[in-house]
Structure 1
Amino acid sequence: MSVEVDALLQEAKESIEAAQNYRSELQQRLNGLNQARKQVRGSSGQAREALRRHFVELQAATTRLLNDRLTTLLAEVDTIETDSVKPLDDCQALIEHGVGQADELLREGEAALRCGLGEKEDKLGSFTKKALHIQLDSLPEVPVLVDVPCVSAQLDDSLLGLLRDRVSRHGSVSSHPPVQIDELQERPGGVLARWCKVDEDFAAVEYRLQYRRCDIGGSGGTQYEDAYIGRDSEFLVLHLDPHTNHLFKVCARGEGRTEWSPWSIPQTGYTTLAPHEWCPGTEGYILSSRKNIAMRNDSIPARCPTLYSNAPTYFCGQTLTFRISAAGQMDRRDSLGVCVSSVRGAESLQRDQAVCISTNGAVFVNGKEMTNQLPAIQLGSAVTFDMEVVSMFPIWNNNANDGGNFKLRVTIGSGNREVVFDWLVDKAVDCLYFGCSFVHSGWKVLVF
């Protein structure tokens, strides 16, 4: 009986635990639904506010433009009226002056006729001279109506139709932004952001990626800043503090459009990997403040010192990139690559337990040059190293005294070409050093 009770008790405990887990899962789903509802209602409220604000501003601007145009047209009417009436006023003044002279002449003539014989001859003589001076046969010309401006306003009724057509197509509302963050991968000192279109009808010609630091709760923090604007659908954002959340969002510009699309839903990304840095204090090299850029100077000419990373920060499965931002004279001893350990005093990575590429494009594996060759390295070149573990178990040689080997598959890319090969190392490694060596000064290389 006690066995049955114990079994029932155990079953009850398991059921209670299952119920607790079930309730916890349901609660998480409820929280997810609440967040989804908040996103729908919050974004809808923001969209309404944006629409109202935009159309209020548009109405005010349209009214201002119409009023400005009306004021301009009324001013043109005033100018035409003023310019056209002035000669008419001048002509009227001339005619009125002539009427006054004629009235005065008539009065003098009538007075001369009424005067006595003793004065008549003088009066009539004076009147005749005055009449000749006035030139009674000369009349001012009055313009005919066809020559006088007749002001009118020409108004194109099609404007309302054009306005109605444009307004009916102005603005749009969508349930989802046309592009979304697809993936955020951690990289040493940065995050690789990838995005994709979710609206296939949206013809994107340019993308814009922004990011900002945020607090532990995922809100607050600094303002968004541009990280990338261009046609690519991925970008590596560098110089991020490890173990710090950052928000990323992306938008796009459609074909033939000047405005950007709505922003994607912000996604949280972070990196746990320390940034790649060159080792300071190596003679012959000058480092940038962030130690991710090294420049070969001429402090020790005719030698080819090797500059290593500050620590073995390259892990298999990642992509290591060297970008050449300045180029000097090439030499066969030059090298860019990775190695198991940093051998101080070595003048090149063309040695055992290292793989590298020379500036002339030659590839070296454990000090031996491969048959395959990549394009020569020059200003703007980007050299990439990708590695994956092929075998973590020892590959024993026939010689009993030899140790075990471990195999890594290496892909080196430069330009539009790449070489792939297997690299045998003496021991299992989960992280590697990177390094470079240049014989001549003038080379500058960024690592990320």
Structure 2
Amino acid sequence: MFPFIKYISLLHFLAMFSFQQELAAETNASQELIRESATLTRDVLEQHFNDLKGTLKKLLDERLMSLLQEVDTIEQDSIKPLDECQKLIEHGVSTADDLLREGESAICGDVEQHNEKLCSFTKKALHIQLDSLPEVPSLVDVPCLSAQLDDCLLTILRNQIFRHGTVASRPPVQLEEFVEKPGGILVRWCKVDDDFVPQDYRLQCRKSTASHFEDVYVGSETEFIVLHIDPNVDYQFRVCARGDGRQEWSPWSVPQIGRTTLVPHEWTAGLEGYSLSSRRNIALRNDSQSCGVLYSKAPTYFCGQTLTFRIETVGQPDRRDSLGVCVEQQNGYDSLQRDKAVCISTNGAVFVNGKEMTNQLPAVTSGSTVTFDMEVVQLGPPSTEGGNFKLRVTISSNNREVVFDWVLDQCCVSLYFGCSFSYPGWKVLVF
């Protein structure tokens, strides 16, 4: 008895020790997150303000050079006519001075040359126009340069700088939940800052081995299915938000790891009437005359999941068109409106085992999504309906849904999906 009690005590001790180690590891991770985010925030702030200072200095230098060039231009344009006037006046004064000296020489010379010099002086004096001088503007009419500098710029800049930038202890939005989807992950996020009013969200993703995040969603919703996810591979996600009426994005949330273990849904390749995308999750009804049902490659839809068809483009509708699930592939049919299948037609009619229901959904259009949800509600002896396996089926389209029980004679927890279109142009994505 006592050894057993000691063994239980040892297990309890080991469990407590392991729990303490987990708490210590979580505490260390939290401390490391705080230190790393603080270091990164310091680096971002220093880089941002250094860039601002450099840009502001460059802008001020450019403005100063522009104003100085404007001063130079006004100065040159204003002085040029005055320089020309100055030259004319100086030329007239120099000419008059030369003529004056020539007159003095004529008066003071000998008698023989006196008449000749006086005659020459008289001729020159008659031709010179001492009274023809350029008009000199008054001082009040010439430019007087000055600089007008508004000191309120410093006040405006000071007020803007003092309000520029904030430091938050945590981002305003955080990742909340990851839900596995076949070949995808449904990512949900939520607002954690009550004072923050979001206008748009921005979700980014990258493989854990990649170096750069890429945008996968920008919009107002708080969840998004990220497709083209490789199964059993870690992906990092982060989200941020833009406040109402603002242009800049908030800080990023703490990156978190998400993954899916569910293989992606694929259509079966090789059916003549349909062309497939490279990932085989998009089927296009081509203009081939061949007709038939395009099935999934494998029974990859499991009860408890949501199967979604999204109509990318539409063609001419037909009452035999169908989107749905079935127990098994059956060749030779041109529609899923048959036994062991449930489907919706493009006109909104719902069929169970080939019989049309009274309830009807809206007709599908370009951009419509049709979802199938199923859960097991009976596993046991035969019911009054004649089967011993019952699935509760919910089909939703354009914000309306129908719910019914699908009775089968065999246990089926994984199903095929399929589609059929009579006319070309229909393109459908499955996920």
Give the TM-score category using the shorter length. Answer: over 0.9
Q: Which residue of 1 aligns with 2:301?
A: 314
1:117 shift after superposition: 4.3
What are the equivalent positions in structure 2 for 1:419-434 lying under 5 Å apart?
Answer: 419-434=402-417
SS in 1 for 2:414: coil
- 2:431 is the counterpart of 1:444: no
1:366 and 1:272 mapped to 2: Cα distance? 31
Residues 335 and 356, structure 1, Cα contact 8 Å, conserved in 2: yes
1:159 and 1:441 mapped to 2: Cα distance? 66
Cα shift readout 1:148-203 (whole Å, capped 9, x = no counterpart):
11110111101111110111111111111111111110000110111111123222
1:190 and 1:268 mapped to 2: Cα distance? 14
2:258 and 2:143 mapped to 1: Cα distance? 74
Residues 112 and 124, structure 1, Cα contact 8 Å, conserved in 2: yes
1:382 alignment partner, one of 362, 369, 388: 369
- 2:257 is the counterpart of 1:274: no
| CA-based RMSD | 1.7
- 2:224 is the counterpart of 1:235: yes
2:51 alignment partner, one of 57, 64, 70: 57
1:127 and 1:282 mapped to 2: Cα distance? 119
Q: Which residue of 2 aligns with 1:323?
A: 310
- 2:22 is the counterpart of 1:45: no
1:395 shift after superposition: 4.6
Structure 2 CA distance for partners of 1:132 and 1:408, relative to 1, 3 Å: same
Cα shift readout 1:305-354 (whole Å, capped 9, x = no counterpart):
11111111111222211112222221111111111222222221111221
Letter of the 1:57 counterpart: D
2:77 and 2:138 mapped to 1: Cα distance? 17
1:9 and 1:16 mapped to 2: Cα distance? 10
2:220 and 2:383 mapped to 1: Cα distance? 50
1:396 and 1:62 mapped to 2: Cα distance? 81
Residues 335 and 359, structure 1, Cα contact 8 Å, conserved in 2: yes
Q: Which residue of 2 aligns with 1:290?
A: 279
- 2:20 is the counterpart of 1:26: yes
2:237 and 2:76 mapped to 1: Cα distance? 64
Q: Which residue of 2 aligns with 1:364?
A: 351
Question: Where has structure 1 moved over 6 Å in runs of 4 or more?
Answer: none
- 2:61 is the counterpart of 1:67: yes
> What TM-score does the superposition give when structure 1 sets the normalisation length?
0.92
Letter of the 1:422 counterpart: D
Letter of the 1:106 counterpart: L
Structure 2 CA distance for partners of 1:200 and 1:116, relative to 1, 3 Å: same
1:34 and 1:151 mapped to 2: Cα distance? 68
Q: Which residue of 2 aligns with 1:4?
A: none
1:378 and 1:140 mapped to 2: Cα distance? 87
1:139 shift after superposition: 3.0
Residues 335 and 420, structure 2, Cα contact 8 Å, conserved in 1: yes
Q: Which residue of 2 aligns with 1:418?
A: 401
Q: Which residue of 2 aligns with 1:141?
A: 135
Residues 322 and 384, structure 1, Cα contact 8 Å, conserved in 2: yes
1:305 alignment partner, one of 284, 292, 313: 292
Letter of the 1:336 counterpart: L
What are the equivalent positions in structure 2 for 1:80-91 lying under 5 Å apart?
Answer: 80-91=74-85
1:342 alignment partner, one of 324, 329, 337: 329
Letter of the 1:299 counterpart: S
Structure 2 CA distance for partners of 1:43 and 1:94, relative to 1, 3 Å: same
1:116 shift after superposition: 4.1
Letter of the 1:333 counterpart: R
Cα shift readout 1:45-98 (whole Å, capped 9, x = no counterpart):
010011111111111111111111111111111111111112222111111111
Q: Does 281-290 or 430-439 show the bigger shift?
A: 281-290
1:358 shift after superposition: 0.8
1:12 shift after superposition: 2.4
SS in 2 for 1:228: strand
How many residue pairs end up in the alignment? 431
2:174 alignment partner, one of 166, 176, 180: 180
Residues 88 and 133, structure 2, Cα contact 8 Å, conserved in 1: no
- 2:289 is the counterpart of 1:332: no
Residues 378 and 388, structure 2, Cα contact 8 Å, conserved in 1: no
1:221 and 1:97 mapped to 2: Cα distance? 82
1:115 and 1:298 mapped to 2: Cα distance? 122
Residues 205 and 231, structure 1, Cα contact 8 Å, conserved in 2: yes
Letter of the 2:280 counterpart: K
1:275 and 1:244 mapped to 2: Cα distance? 13
Letter of the 1:273 counterpart: L
2:212 alignment partner, one of 219, 223, 231: 223
Unaligned residue ranges in structure 2 (runs of 5+): none
1:93 alignment partner, one of 67, 78, 87: 87
Q: Which residue of 2 aligns with 1:254?
A: 243
> What TM-score does the superposition give when structure 2 sets the normalisation length?
0.95
Q: Which residue of 2 aligns with 1:206?
A: 200
